[in-house]
Amino acid sequence: MYKEGIQPSSYDPGQIITMQDVRRVHHEVMTLVWRVEPHPDATPEEGPGSFRQHDIAKFAGGMKPIPWPLVDSAMTDWLRQVNAIEPRSANFPEEIAKVHRDFEAIHPFLDGNGRTGRLVLNLILVRMGYPPAIIYKGDRDKYLRALQRADGGDCGALGEFIARAILDNLYKFIVPAIAGPARLVPLGALATDAMNAATLRVAANRGALQATKGADGQWRSSRLWVDEYAANRYKRRR
């Protein structure tokens, strides 16, 4: 999906995303699933990549997807909304949260809308120059609560959730990949399973980890310094 984002096989320079993109993502995601366990109510016209021709029952949170005859026009309006977003505006987090919520509210496909919606969100982000937002299993409940608030018209929590997911991905994968071992980066970019960001901050505050604190209040260190701290961490305890 990331490759398709930066090197799309079919790309209209006037649009961030097209209807063909959305259908293709669903087709890629659901084809294998459909072969094993197709939706029991699906007609031959509702397979992977095709919009639903059934109405969907109201969800537990109270949101009810639109009637199926309105899906085509709603998706056309949705695409227009997405392609009007200004990627570097101050309102970007809430705007991207709203289009993500609106996709799920339209629920254009009979099945697989959640995973398709999250992949489509990341396709949009990548084409706008952002890292993808990875939603981990442990954050699922928080994500669903924020999505439910967005259903009620408050997209702030969902926008913050997506923005934090983007930053976490930036720190965990992208910054370490481009930063040399001696380059100073935020501690979040140097965290590992063995030493999370909170552990590194404590070490920096104690002076055990070489780090500098910027005017923004954020600690920065380097992979070299963290490796040195890790190598000597247990020696000091013995």
- CA angle (125, 107, 56) in 5-degree steps: 165
CA gap 22, 26 in Å, rounded: 6
Cα dihedral angle (228, 229, 231, 232), rounded to 10 degrees?
120
Give the closest residue to 112 by CA, choosing from 39, 53, 161: 39
100 a catalytic residue: no
Instruction: Identify the bridge partners of residue 219 per DSSP, sorted by sequence position.
Output: 213
Residue that the structure tokens 């997911």 belong to:
165
Instruction: Please name the helix (run of DSSP H) or strand (run of DSSP E) that holds residue 105, with its range, or none.
Output: helix 92-106
3-state secondary structure string across 44-92: HHHCCCCCCCCCCCCCCCCCCCCCHHHHHHHHHHHHHHHHCCCCCCCCH
Q: Tell me which of 26, 39, 100, 107 is the catalytic residue.
A: 107
Give CA angle at 111 (120, 68), nearest 5°: 90
**Residues with a known catalytic role:** 107
